[in-house]
Copies of this chain bind each other. A is one copy, B any other.
Amino acid sequence: MKDKKETNPDFGIACPIPIQQYPHIMAAHGGGGKLMHQLIQKMFVSTFKNPQLEMEHDGATFPVSNGKLAFSTDSYVISPLFFPGGDIGSLAVHGTVNDLAMCGARPLYLSAGFILEEGFPMETLWRIVQSMGNAAQKAKVNIVTGDTKVVEKGKGDGVFINTAGVGIIEHNRHIAPSEIRREDEIILSGDIGRHGIAIMAVREGLEFESTIESDNAPVADLVMQLLDADIEIHCMRDLTRGGLSSALIEIAEKAGRHIHIEERSIPVTSEVQGACEILGFDPLYVANEGRFIAFVSQENSKKALQIMRAHPLGKDASIIGNVTAEQKPLVTMTGKIGARRIIDMLSGEQLPRIC
């Protein structure tokens, strides 16, 4: 196991809600009365500390300048709540930060909506909230507005978290699936499959020689470096549910363009490869939470790769393929032994509640 401090966040601050008196979440914590206000004030506002949240208004307000904003949302229902490399709290921050970054935006503000199940341990909520606060601080975003609901025991599953985010676009590029062009090169930011396999290993009680950790991380800083260097990025996508394959297929279909990749260029650790073989998964379809692909003009691809490799979150970045001249919505891959095949979207469900 990794250093306990990161996988089981314990920031050494005692729970601000008296645990003896309120060991578990009760219906009244979502009822709009005294207990809800205590929870919001003492736990959320004090941890996410920022002037907007402290206004205790129905929403947050902030100034904007002429330009463009990005807006995104995700709900997080991951099970288990804590896993090697993170927890639902850090994931809920990173996931939305990453979605904003994929729009080419610098993430600024997040909202947080909690759906708590009656009976959920207060101490566990506190660990998750601290982890969110810590992740937000590191990703340089403020959690400025929120909401708390409580459902009866058996009508939820501990905690679900929704975050929505607003970010600012500080350049004039139009970054979207429709923008990819012939000969664009596709850079993958690092090895794939770690998040999904880390979760499955915990769920199935599998033990490997070394623990496989989720790649759960905020990639906005790395993306901002690419944009600041004026790299001609046409599209980006993070490789969450459905993995690398779904991201490529979605973009190929939206753009009506043929994408070809080379399997041997896709970094997969031997641990993940081994676990995939045991579990019957294909790493191409396994979810990641700190990996993305960028479609970059051929002229800029080497420079982009250099920038990525100089960043801790992009050190294993690799050019995995390109956009061909063919105008058909298709993804193909040359396998390790040279055979070429079509990459199809997953039909069924591989890994439920992975994020």
Name A residues whose Cβ lies closer than 8 Å to a Cβ of B: 26-28, 30-37, 55-77, 98-100, 102-103, 105, 109, 111-115, 144-147, 149-152, 154-157, 160, 162, 164-167, 169, 176-178, 236-238, 240-243, 246, 250, 254, 287, 345-353, 355
Contact = CB atoms under 8 A, between A and B. Distances in A.
Nearest to A152: B352
Counting every copy of the chain, the complex holds 2
A149 to B, nearest CB: 5
Contact of A150 (B33, B74, B242, B352): B352
21 contacts: A27-B352, A30-B352, A32-B242, A33-B345, A35-B349, A58-B98, A59-B72, A59-B100, A61-B68, A61-B70, A61-B169, A62-B68, A71-B109, A71-B111, A71-B166, A73-B146, A73-B147, A74-B113, A75-B147, A149-B355, A151-B353
B58 A238 contact: yes
A64 B68 contact: yes
Say what secondary structure dominates the interface of chain A: mixed
A162 B99 contact: no
Nearest to A72: B59
Nearest to A114: B75
A31 B164 contact: no
Nearest to A355: B149
Given A31-B346, A105-B59, A113-B162, A149 B75 contact: yes
Contacts of A238: 58
A61 B169 CA distance: 9
Contact of A34 (B35, B98, B243, B345): B345
A240 B149 CA distance: 13
A77 B115 contact: yes
Nearest to A167: B59
Contacts of A65: 64, 66
A102 B59 contact: yes
